Amino acid sequence: MPQYKGSREVISIHVGQAGVQIGNACWELFCLEHGIQPDGYHVEDDSYDEETETINTFFAETAGGKHVPRCLFVDLEPTVVDEVRTGTYRSLFHPEQLLSGKEDAANCYARGRYTIGREMIDVVMDRVKRLAENCNGLQGFVIFHSFGGGTGSGFLSLLMERLSTEYGKKPKLEFAIYPAPQVSTSMVEPYNSILMTHTTLEHSDCTFMVDNEAIYDICRRNLDLARPTYTNLNRLVAQIISSITASLRFEGALNVDLTEFQTNLVPYPRIHFPLVTYAPLVSAERASHEQNTVADMTHACFEPGYQMVKCDPRRGKYMAVCLLYRGDVVPKDINSAIASVKTKRTVQFVEWCPTGFKVGINYQPPTVVPGGDLGKQTRSVCMISNTTAIAEAWARLDHKFDLMYAKRAFVHWYVGEGMEEGEFSEAREDMAALEKDYEEIGEDELPDDIDDQSYRGRSAASRF
């Protein structure tokens, strides 16, 4: 691999079918935002300004001027990665960064972690090492996967453990597709999700969750799509990821780096599952007719219809809110919008966190994919909030787990792959502890008898 120029670099790792397909949508959007063609070279255009872009955070530049994404695509079976190898952006990625096995994890956490995954982990870690060696100052990792798949849960948990061992304190942020309340892609999603959450709870620093059902509803309701496809869903997820990572890739008045997300959003190591909201969500046909003021966008972020996980934040309490604005936005408008939000009775903060709001401003306006669903806008906002309401999502999943595990349904598939049955009850206990953590945090005053260690993790201590 050629040696590249670099700055404060971030390595992206896309794991399993969901991770790879979201990766496709993300790199398509990143290329459009940075003026990079599908072959990796810059569009001949005077509008590109190297002073305002820290493009080397996500792309490595070869001596010939080609930009290569600092990323890795990993799946235990070849079909989805082959789509990248033959797709529009096939020339963009380094062939060694597209890794696929021959046999999939068959939706089984144990298969992804203990059998099929074990055969591939060393190759993956070797590629990560090469990417890290090409960085001047590695900032951390951004990982994309689903909770419910075999590879996205099992192999990912193995990978997170290895990354923690070899890269210690480097922050690891996850963008994860979370099981939806009504729609399911497999029967064993609750098992995979809870086993994975238990094993990665101490290795992940911040997990941004997105559920397909919430995004389906947004596509149908706001973007006028009668039957949304995964491409529609993934492009919307890509916009959110782009907003969250924009401050790493472009200069702005108030920038946010990887460690800042943790510092501002994670009050205790285990409570690291922020809720993501994005506005405006307007179809291309309606975009030119909507006013879209800073106040409108900011208020929309506190409405359940704009959030990426099905839960009701009006019934929970906020611990921290991070508002990431893009485009034509000035601090004066933001301050008055936030002041107006604070007067709403539905927006409640925990008593021990009075300030609550962190703001990021990035002057790069949101970019839309030509022919895509979202309308072109001069400004947008992505809100990341740590709220006790997300515990609703855990409670739902735990209930589904309990129904199946009471009858030991499907457990033999996991035990047959070398997993011990005790891991199920251990994982479930950890989830019960997580639910209790959220419940205690929502109480008006922290009980005196709770020592700090109880939040550091009842089952495993976590440090950053």
Active site residues: 260
DSSP H/E element including 138: none
Nearest to 423 by CA among 110, 153, 105, 186: 110
Tell me the two tokens of residue 290: 């909507």
Reading phi first (left if > 0) and then psi (alpha if -120 to 50, else beta), residue 415 is in: alpha
Residues 428, 431, 435, 440: is their CA dihedral positive or negative? positive
CA–chain centroid gap for 110, Å, is 23
CB crowding 98-128: b at 16 or more within 10 Å, else e: bbbbeebbbbbbbbbbbbbbeebbeebbebb
CB 207, CB 273: distance < 8 Å: yes
CA–chain centroid gap for 213, Å, is 16
In degrees to the nearest 10, what's the CA dihedral of 429, 435, 440, 444? Answer: -170
Query: In whole angstroms, what is the distance from residue 332 CA to residue 123 CA?
Result: 51
